[in-house]
Amino acid sequence: MRLPKFEYLGPKTVQEACSLLAQHGDKAKVMAGGTDVLNVMKERKIRPEYLIGLRAISDLSYIKADADGIKIGALTTLTDLANSAVVKEKFPCLAEVPMKMATVQIRNMGTIGGNLCNAAPSADTAPILICLGAKAKIAGPKGERVVALEDFFTGPGKTVLGKGELLVEIQVPNQPAKTAGAYLKMSRVSVDLAIVGVGVVVTREGDSCKDIKITLGAVAPTPIRAKKAEAVVKGKKIDDALLEEAGKIASQEAKPIDDVRGSAFYRTEIVKVYTKRAIKQAMEQAK
Ligand SMILES: Cc1cc2nc3c(=O)[nH]c(=O)nc-3n(C[C@H](O)[C@H](O)[C@H](O)COP(=O)(O)OP(=O)(O)OC[C@H]3O[C@@H](n4cnc5c(N)ncnc54)[C@H](O)[C@@H]3O)c2cc1C
Q: Is it true that domain 179-285 has CATH number 3.40.50.2300?
A: no
Q: 72, 81, 106, 187: which to mutate for ligand 1, most atoms within 8 A of CB?
A: 106
Residues of each domain in the chain carrying CATH 3.30.465.10: 58-173
Q: What pTM did the predictor assign? A: 0.97
| Whole-angstrom distance, CA of residue 133 vs CA of residue 240 | 27
Residues of each domain in the chain carrying CATH 3.30.43.10: 7-53
Tell me the pLDDT band of 274, cut-offs 50, 70 and 90.
Answer: very high
Of all protein residues, the one whose alpha carbon is nearest to atom 33 of ligand 1 is: 118
Kindly give the distance from the C-alpha atom of residue 175 to the centroid of ligand 1, in angstroms, as a whole number: 27
pLDDT tens digits, 155-195: 999 999 999 999 999 999 999 999 999 999 999 987 889 99
- Is the pLDDT assigned to residue 101 strictly greater than 80? yes
> Which atom of ligand 1 is closest in space to residue 123's alpha carbon?
11
Please enumerate in sequence order all residues whose Cβ is within 8 A of that of 243, keeping only pairs 6 or more positions apart, or say none: 276, 279, 280
Q: Is it true that domain 58-173 has CATH number 3.40.190.80?
A: no
Kindly give the distance from the C-alpha atom of residue 98 to the centroid of ligand 1, in angstroms, as a whole number: 12
Q: Is it true that domain 7-53 has CATH number 3.30.43.10?
A: yes
Contacts of range 151-157, beta carbons closer than 8 Å, 24 or more positions apart: 152/116, 153/119, 153/126, 153/222, 153/223, 154/119, 154/222, 155/119, 155/221, 155/222, 156/119, 156/120, 156/121, 156/221, 156/222, 157/118, 157/119, 157/120
Q: Is 193 in the pocket of ligand 1 (CB under 6 A)?
A: yes
Q: Is 36 in the pocket of ligand 1 (CB under 6 A)?
A: yes
